[in-house]
Amino acid sequence: MRFSKLVDYLARLDKTSKRLEMTAILGALFKEASEEDVAPIIYLTQERLGPAFEPIDFGIGEALAAEALALATGKDKTEIKKLYKERGDYGIVAEELCGASSNRLTVKQVYDRLMQIATTSGTGTVAQKTLGIGDPTVMEGLSWSKTGDKSLRPQIERAYNVCSDLGQVAQLFKAGGVEALAKIKVTVGKPVRMALAERAKSAEDIVTRLGMCAIEKKFDGFRCQVHKQSEQVRIFSRNLEETTTMFPDIAKAVRDQVKAKTAILEGEALAYDVETAEFHPFQVTMQRKRKYDLEAMTAKFPLRLVAFDLLYVEGKDFTGQPYSKRHDMLAELVGQGDGLSVADHLVTQDAKEIEKYFDDAVTLGLEGILAKRLDSKYQAGARNFNWIKLKRSYQGQLTDTVDGVVVGYLRGRGMRARFGIGAVLVAVYDQPNDRFVTIGKIGTGFSDEKWPQLRELLDKVAVEHKPARVDAVMLPDVWVEPKYVIEMRADEITRSPIHTAGKVGDEPGYALRFPRVIGFIRVDKKPEDATTVKEILGMFKKQGKKKTA
């Protein structure tokens, strides 16, 4: 495919905010693309050069972009920088200065050249113009390319959940249809999309749903999926980013303590006090995400991985085995040591025993508990009632936290005028429709130090118009692409005509009442990891408070 043809498709995508239309455009694009082109096309439409777990940095900053354009066009660099300030996007500047000077290049040629630049240059930052195409829309587009509808999405999603590489999935699907996707297996070195838990309101609720089950303590740390291949260890976060270099102590513990040549296990990494063996709160653990002074931070706040699941060992895929067997095998696999331990659990169907276990966990300063169905398989990428979480904050009025995605901001007023930002418009994730729907405007919780930092981050992803995946009635001063997740508390959830979370027809949506931010950006979460509309509706029903605004 000529690259100019891909640009035409991207221009069509950029002009629509209707998801069904986006899906149809993607379907036509994928149908026309060759087997060679389809993987690069998917990576490029998702602002990548490879799957999320491959750390390929396209290291071109603003200064280098200006210099490159100056060389390519013969224009003075000062003139180019002036145009950039006026247009706000180097892509637009390049389009105006260069025009359509060539339509001979293919997608593969452009992709290979970009990959060459990315793998030979240093790291840097790029102000990206995003299309806002999420994984669900891409998967439905692939289905559309074969059938004209989204009926094949479940099979495509199963394959994606196993390998976390939509490019690989698309290439196989293009070549051999749904049948070819069966070739995708759990592989050491490629992260499996992580299983997630639903919420419970009480111990009785857990027993009613699961009967006899395993109860684990719920730790608040870094979710880690660890892949061991002989002496090589790779660690992936819940949003599939590789974090191995940040957690050398976890990697060493896995090499030393896991009694298998190849294995994939999951757990929660937490900072702990070497003297007392007690875990630090999440705010302390979060400091280990710093990319500088790594050696000092590792010594000051060592991590322990509490492993709770086994996905693969010595060539055998364990995701299809029942939880009870996976846990038993995990316990056999992990040897003694300080950096890695296996999560304890209580097997019971007694609500009072579960309540006591919950109380003990809370007394230790933990979030709560996780209940797991004993015969459940590991369902990659799924959130269902095979795993159920009960947190201390779920009981009584709404004191549970909500993870929201910033989709816009309002300029500062009064004391915050000097920051240029005074509140953010926040959305939750409407999973079935792959969109973000607003649930509140929040201006409480950020310090005077954090407001300027937040604005700087948001301005890098600011867009002129409402992003295609955002559904909103309230209009911010500045729209931003859904990228940054923040954690919030609120007094309760109320009905609201000015927010779109859970809105159906002329009925009002749902909103957070008196929301406030906890901490800063949740760097361990991507937008699709935000609280879902389904969860908000469940929390609304359980809060036991008044239900009208």
Q: In angstroms, what CA-CA distances link 18 with 12, 53, 68, 371?
A: 11, 29, 36, 39
Predicted pLDDT of residue 123: 45
422 in the same domain as 387: no
How far is Cα 218 from Cα 323, in angstroms, rounded to an integer? 17
Residue 294 structure tokens = 């790594």
Is 291 annotated in the active site?
no
Alpha helices in 15-134 (DSSP H): 19-32, 35-45, 62-73, 77-87, 90-98, 107-120
Question: 163 and 238: one domain?
Answer: no
Residues 200, 140 within the same domain? no
Report the CATH number at residue 496.
2.40.50.140
Asked if residue 188 is part of any domain, the answer here is no
Q: Which two tokens stand for residue 16?
A: 């629509």
In DSSP terms, 84 is beta-bridged to: none
Whose tokens are 């003297």? That residue is 275
SS3 call for 369: strand
Q: Confirm if 331 and 248 have CB atoms less than 8 A apart.
A: no
Which long-range CB contacts under 8 A does 56-59 form with residues at least 24 apart? 56/115, 56/118, 56/119, 57/118, 57/123, 57/124, 58/114, 58/117, 58/118, 58/121, 58/126, 59/118, 59/121, 59/122, 59/123, 59/124, 59/126
Q: Is the pTM of this model over 0.95?
A: no
Tell me phi and psi for residue 510, to 5 degrees: -125, 150
Rg (CA), the chain: 24
Of 129, 150, 180, the residue that ends a domain is: 180
What pLDDT sits at residue 421? 92
Joined together, the tokens standing for residue 499 give 């927010």
Residue 491 DSSP label: S
Does 478 map to a domain? Answer: yes
The whole-angstrom separation of Cα 527 and Cα 485 is 6
First-to-last alpha carbon distance for the chain, in angstroms, is 54
Domain match, 126 and 257 both: no
Domain boundary among 392, 419, 449: 392
Q: How far is it, in rounded angstroms, from Cα 40 to Cα 37?
A: 6
Residue 470 near residue 133, CB atoms below 8 Å:
no
pLDDT mean for each 10 residues of the chain (549 residues): 89 83 93 94 87 73 72 78 75 71 78 79 45 84 95 95 95 94 93 93 93 93 94 92 91 95 96 77 76 79 93 96 96 93 95 92 83 96 92 57 94 78 95 93 88 92 90 94 92 90 92 87 88 92 53
CATH number at residue 43: 1.10.3260.10
Distance CA 28, CA 33 (A): 9
Q: Is residue 120 part of a domain?
A: yes
- Structural domain of residue 129, as residue ranges? 3-180
90: tokens are: 């180097």
Output the DSSP codes for 427-470. Answer: EEEEGGGTEEEEEEEE-SS--TTHHHHHHHHHHTTEESS--TTE
Examine residue 172 and state whether it is found in any structural domain, yes or no.
Answer: yes
Whether residues 125 and 162 share a domain: the answer is yes
Pairing between strand 509-513 and 232-236? Answer: unpaired
Among residues 218, 391, 441, 542, the one annotated as catalytic is 218
Pair (205, 134) in one structural domain: no
**Does a structural domain hold residue 91?**
yes
Q: Does one domain contain both 203 and 154? A: no
- Indicate the DSSP class of residue 301: S
**In one letter, which amino acid is 61?**
G
Predicted confidence at residue 114, as pLDDT, reads 82
As a whole number of angstroms, the distance between CA 526 and CA 47 comes to 14
d(CA 16, CA 282): 41
Q: Give the DSSP H/E element, type plus range, for residue 346.
A: strand 345-348
CATH code, domain carrying 262: 3.30.470.30
DSSP 53: T
Same domain, 26 and 169: yes
Q: Of 332, 359, 392, which residue sits at a domain end?
A: 392
Predicted pLDDT at 251: 95
How many structural domains compose the chain? 3
Give the whole-angstrom CA distance, residue 21 versus residue 31. Answer: 15
Residues 443, 445, 450, 453, CA torsion sign: negative
Q: Do 384 and 498 lie in a common domain?
A: no
Residue 299 belongs to some domain of the structure: yes
Burial class of residue 374, CB neighbours in 10 A (0-12, 13-18, 19+): middle
Is there a single domain that holds both residue 323 and residue 289? yes
Q: What is the pLDDT, as a whole number, of residue 396?
A: 42
Tokens of 9: 């498709």
Q: Is the residue at 200 inside a domain?
A: yes
Please tell me whether residues 222 and 166 are part of one structural domain: no
- The Cα–Cα gap between 123 and 131 comes to 23
Query: Is there a domain that residue 429 lies in?
Result: yes
Looking at the structure, do residues 327 and 409 belong to the same domain, yes or no?
Answer: no
